[in-house]
Amino acid sequence: MRCIMCGSNIPMQQKRRMDIEVVIGQTLDVRRQTRIKNAPAIARGIFLSGHDVRKATEVMLKKSGVHEAHLLIVFLDGRAMRRLNRQVLGHDYVTDVITFDLGSKASHVSRLTIDGEIYICPSEAKRNAKVYGESVEREILRYIAHGILHLLGWDDQTEAKRCQMRKKEDDLLDAFCSKL
């Protein structure tokens, strides 16, 4: 778009496209999992709905500068998460979050695109929330932030990188909490 006064280009605000699906399941068979729109909670005793998860994810993606996202967030029980961790990473234990990058990229016009899956284990979130003195809901939102950061290329393989990533997770959580 051009300015009618001077003829210079005016940057147009581009619409962001956020395609976020939330799935609850005990198995890795996606056909047998339950897709939720506005379910009351993602797990017993956790007061986050599918809508809450999508909204928080959208805010965190925007805060991270993501322009377009195709993201699947799957909640698994401990047994399914352990099986996934063993099959994909070769680790025979339950973990809190696993992220798969399905082709995230930055385009030539500095528009970040996220394409991935984040698998979360609510029972691990409950356990870790007690350890870290957080609410279970905040711990789950932290896992989403953690997954987003991995999709953006962040690494947590060293103590220094873990500290940097933790601070960035806090920034993303604060961005969502300030919208409440």
| pLDDT one-digit tens code per residue, 5-47 | 444 443 434 456 778 888 776 444 444 444 444 344 556 667 7
- Burial letters 146-166, b for 16+ CB under 10 A, else e: bbbbbbbeeebeeeeeeeebe
Q: Provide the pLDDT for residue 22.
A: 80
What confidence tens digit (pLDDT) does each residue in 55-74 have? 999 999 999 988 888 999 99
Which residues, at least 6 apart from 154, have a Cβ–Cβ distance to it below 8 Å? 161, 164, 165, 168
Q: Provide the pLDDT for residue 106.
A: 63
Q: Which pair of structure tokens corresponds to residue 89? A: 């990473």
Q: Provide the pLDDT for residue 45.
A: 67
Distance between CA 32 and CA 59 in Å, rounded?
Answer: 29
**Closest C-alpha among 128, 116, 149, 120 to residue 48:** 120
Q: Provide the pLDDT for residue 104.
A: 73
Domain ranges within the chain, ordered by starting residue: 17-177
The architecture (CATH level 2) of 17-177 comes to 3-Layer(aba) Sandwich (3.40)
